[in-house]
Amino acid sequence: MADSKFCSERQKYVEDPRIACQYGAKCYQKNPVHHQKYKHPPSKKRIRTDTENDVKRIKRDDVKKDADVELPENHSKTADPDLNTDKSDLGYERNESNEEVTSSNEDVPKTRTAKQFDPANFIKQKFLVDMPSDFYAFWDFCKGLCRSEPENALKDVGLQLVGPYDVLAGKFYNIDEPPEADYLIHWRYFYDPPEFQTILKGDDKTGFHIGYFRDSPEDLPVFLASNCSKTDGILKIVGDNIFAAVSIYLDDFKKTGDPFKKMHVSKFQSTLKNKAEELKLSLSERTAKIKERDRKIVSRSFNKVGIIVPYDRKTQTGYRDLGVSNKSLTKMLTNIQKALPEQRPKFLSELQSVLTNASIATDECDFGTGIELGLSILAHGVDSLDKTIARFLASNYRLIGREAFAKIAEAHMKNRRKETNLSIIK
C-alpha cells in the first residue's frame, strides 16, 4: 500500500507543471512563495512530514558537525545552533604556522598539471570565474613593458600581477596538481569576500592588494576594489577596469611613494592612459556602470560595497533587515574578539539572537540576510567565527544559485590566514 501511495504521489510530481526545486526532497523551506513556485518529489524515507520539526533536526545535526563557538553550561537547550559548548571547536584547528590541519595525503600519488593549456579555460575551471577583456589587455600591455616577466612590469611602482595572472605567466604549467580547493584561496587575503578576486599585490607591510569584484560568479566584474588586509575589511572602489585601478593607484603613489621613483611614474602613467584611450576604457573611479549597481544594493555590509541578491519587492522576499544596527553588531563581535576565555560565553550569548534571526530569514527564503551577516562577520575580522561565516555564506549562496561563491567561502574559512604571502604555488 505504501508503494502504491508513493507511485501515485510520484506520478503527481511528474505531471506538476511547477519548476523542480534543486534541493528535491531534502528542501526544508516553509515559505509559501517558495512552494508556489517549486515542486518537491515524494520520498519513501521521510523521517518527519512536519516541516518545522525537520528544520530543527537539520539545525541539531549542524551543531554536531561544525558549530564553532562556546556557550555557558547553563545555556538554554533551545539556543541557536551556531553556538555550542565545545571549547576545542573555536574555529578550524590549525598548526603553529596557522595552516589548516588536514588528513595526510602523503601516500596519494602526485599528478601534474598539463605542460600547456588554454589559460582562459584553466582560470574558469580552477578559479570558477571568467576574467574580463581588460584583464587580458592589461597583460598584453605589461608584456610591452617587460617581455620576459610581464607579472613584474610594475615592480618599480610597488605592484605585482598575481592570482589568475599567474596562469598567464605560466606558473601553473607542469607542476604538482594542487587540491581543487587550494585554487580558490590562491592570493585570497584575510578579509576578501567570495565576490573578490585578487589580481595585484602591493606593499606586504599593509597587505595592500587590488581585485575584481562581481556580484554573481556567472557575471563579469562590475568594478575593482582595493584593500589593506593589515588594517581592516573595508573595500575601496577603484574603477571598472584594471587600467583605471592602476591609474588611481599611481595618483596616490605620487603623493606618498618613494621620491626617487616618482620621476618615472608620470611617464608611465601617460603611457597607461594612452593605452586606456585606445581601448576606450574609462579611468574614472566611479563610472555609470558602478552607479547603476548602487541602485540595486539591498544592504551595506561591513565591507562598504554593499550586497546584491535576488529580491522581489512585491512580495518582499529575498532579504530582510538583520534586526540589529551595524554599531551594535560591531560591538558584539569586538567583545568576542577581545574577551578573555571566561568572558567569552557571555558575549557569545549576546550574539545568539542575531544568528537566530538570520537562520529564520533563511528558512523563510530571505537568503540575503544570512549573506549579509556572513560578510559582515568576515569584514569585521573576528577569527573564532570562521565556521559560522562559512555556514551562513555557503548555505545562502547555494540557495540563490551561486555555487562557486559557496565553494570559495568554504575553502577560505578552512584556511584563512592573516599573512601576505598567499600563493599556493610551491
Would you please indicate which residues are annotated as catalytic (active-site) residues? Answer: 364
3-state helix, strand, coil in the chain (%, to 5): 45, 10, 45
Q: Other C-beta atoms within 10 Å of 400: how many?
A: 17
DSSP string, 253-309: HHHHS-HHHHHHHHHHHHHHHHHHHHTT----SS-HHHHHHHTT--B--TTSS-B--
Burial class (CB in 10 A: 0-12, 13-18, 19+), 336: buried
Helices (H), 222-258: 242-256
Find the radius of gyration of the CA atoms of the chain. Answer: 24
Alpha carbons 30 and 122: distance in angstroms, whole number: 40
379 near 193, Cβ under 8 Å?
A: yes
Rounded-to-integer distance, Cα 170 and Cα 117, Å: 10
Phi, psi torsion values for 198, nearest 5 degrees: -65, 135
CA nearest to 224, candidates 213, 216, 215: 213
Rounded distance between C-alpha atoms, residue 44 and residue 10, angstroms: 10
Half-sphere exposure for 97 (CA within 13 Å, toward CB): 4
User: Cα separation of 44 and 64, whole Å?
Assistant: 26
Q: Map residue 318 onto helix, strand or coil.
A: coil
What the block records as the C-alpha cell of 157 is 611602482
The secondary structure of residue 100, as a DSSP letter, is B
Distance between CA atoms of residues 58 and 29, nearest Å: 12
Q: How many residues does the chain have?
A: 426
